[in-house]
Amino acid sequence: MQPISVVTRLITNGPFWPKATNHKRHQPPHAAIHFPCKAPIPTDPNAQTLYPTSLTKHHVRPARMPTVPGIRGEKELQLNEQTLSMRLERVAAHMPAGARLADIGSDHGYLPVALMRRGAIAEAVAGEVALTPFHSAVRTVRENGLEQRITVRLANGLAAIEPGDGITVISICGMGGETIRDILDSGKAHLSGQERLILQPNGGEQPLRQWLMENGYRILCEELLRENRFYYEIIVAERAGPVMYTAEELYFGPLQMQTRSPAFLDKWQRILREKHKTLANFARARQAVPEEKLQEIACQARWISELLA
């Protein structure tokens, strides 16, 4: 079966997918701005700094350390470079030993710092497009004494990667699948074709898989896990020449369809119930629903039913 065009994802509006809230991640390209990690980040507004005035005037105090709510009333789990979330631990598991990593949208820089502390990677670039997480990443790297091994750059998407970096792995985690697709597409000039892509989209997997297929990337591994009521998928891909996936494989994930893990089946059972509710609402709607939209959702419901049969 020939691949179809990107299917409109209604499920992203359902209760199963966290929404990507950082609207600044995908901005018009601009040159990467380099900052030495040794430079102090001021907490005193009168303190001297090595940062340009245009950036320090936007300085804010460090944000509270992110936490993951405990399950069934357990104590909150504090996330840092020593304690990664479950999904980032699974991302880390796909990192080849001795990799030279570019972590795009690195936020606090926890992933590259954790991997470096474990001796799992050789060097890393942490890229961020927003000032606050950029400063957080600089602080995390400096506090762990890794300034010589991890470079933090303020840059849009793959513009954080420079030719001399010798990057072998690119990780992009915690954004919508469409955003990850757009970052890859707009940053093609920074891809050598030899890198492994480790992607963790928050929904929007189908259009992301479509881009991978159209650009000659074969999916090597797929994982699905549930963390704090949300489902997360991890897609590992490498360029391998022409590759073809069916419409259903792009929708569900070619390897996910083969493994059929309990989390995978549970996710699609929930989505199927939502599809049926949507179709029932369409039937009761006073205004006519576009036939194309109706057929699209009916087709998706049929695919899921056949998958679960």
Residue 299 phi, psi dihedral angles, 5° rounding: -65, -45
Q: What is the pLDDT of residues 76-118, one digit of tens each?
A: 344 555 678 899 999 999 999 999 999 999 998 999 999 999 9
Confidence of residue 216 (pLDDT cuts 50, 70, 90): very high
Question: What is the reported pLDDT for 203?
Answer: 93
Question: What is the reported pLDDT for 287?
Answer: 79
CA-closest candidate to residue 7, choices 178, 254, 199, 222: 178
CB 261 within 8 A of CB 224: yes
CB 272 within 8 A of CB 301: yes
CB atoms within 10 A of CB 138: 26
CA-closest candidate to residue 166, choices 220, 98, 119, 91: 98
Residue 150 tokens read as: 């991890």
Confidence of residue 144 (pLDDT cuts 50, 70, 90): very high
Q: How far apart are CA 171 and CA 169, in angstroms?
A: 7
**Secondary structure percentages of the chain, helix, strand, coil, to 5:** 40, 20, 40
Q: What is the pLDDT of residues 154-178, one digit of tens each?
A: 999 999 999 999 999 999 999 999 9
Read out DSSP for 225-294? EEETTEEEEEEEEEE-S-----HHHHHH-HHHHHH--HHHHHHHHHHHHHHHHHHHHHHH-SSPPPHHHH
CATH number of residue 56's parent domain: 3.40.50.150
Q: Is residue 57 part of a domain?
A: yes
CA-closest candidate to residue 199, choices 103, 281, 62, 57: 103
Q: Is residue 105 part of a domain?
A: yes
Residues 61-68 have a mean pLDDT of 39
Residues 249-272 have a mean pLDDT of 96
Residues 194-200 have a mean pLDDT of 97
Residues 127-146 have a mean pLDDT of 95
Give residues with Cβ within 8 angstroms of 54, minimum separation 6: none
Q: How far apart are CA 258 and CA 236, in angstroms?
A: 16
3-state class of 134 per DSSP?
Answer: helix
Question: What is the reported pLDDT for 228?
Answer: 85
Q: Is residue 292 part of a domain?
A: no
Q: How far apart are CA 302 and CA 155, in angstroms?
A: 43
pLDDT at 57 over 90: no
Question: What is the reported pLDDT for 41?
Answer: 34
Q: Is residue 298 part of a domain?
A: no
3-state class of 143 per DSSP?
Answer: helix
Q: How far apart are CA 109 and CA 149, in angstroms?
A: 13
Q: Is residue 167 part of a domain?
A: yes
Q: What is the pTM of this model?
A: 0.74
Q: Is residue 114 part of a domain?
A: yes
Read out DSSP for 186-237? HTGGG--S-PEEEEEESS-HHHHHHHHHHTTEEEEEEEEEEETTEEEEEEEE
Residues 287-299 have a mean pLDDT of 89
Question: What is the reported pLDDT for 82?
Answer: 62
Question: What is the reported pLDDT for 229?
Answer: 87
Domain count for the chain: 1
Residue 255 tokens read as: 């390897």
Q: Is residue 137 part of a domain?
A: yes
User: For tokens 């999904």, what's the residue?
Assistant: 87
pLDDT at 19 over 50: no
Q: How far apart are CA 16 and CA 284, in angstroms?
A: 24
Q: Is residue 111 part of a domain?
A: yes
Domain that holds residue 30: 20-201
Confidence of residue 285 (pLDDT cuts 50, 70, 90): confident
Residue 137 tokens read as: 């990443």
Residue 6 tokens read as: 């990107």
Q: How far apart are CA 248 and CA 303, in angstroms?
A: 7
3-state class of 164 per DSSP?
Answer: helix
* Rounded to 5°, angle at Cα 222 from 113 and 250: 130
For residue 96, the 8-state DSSP code is P
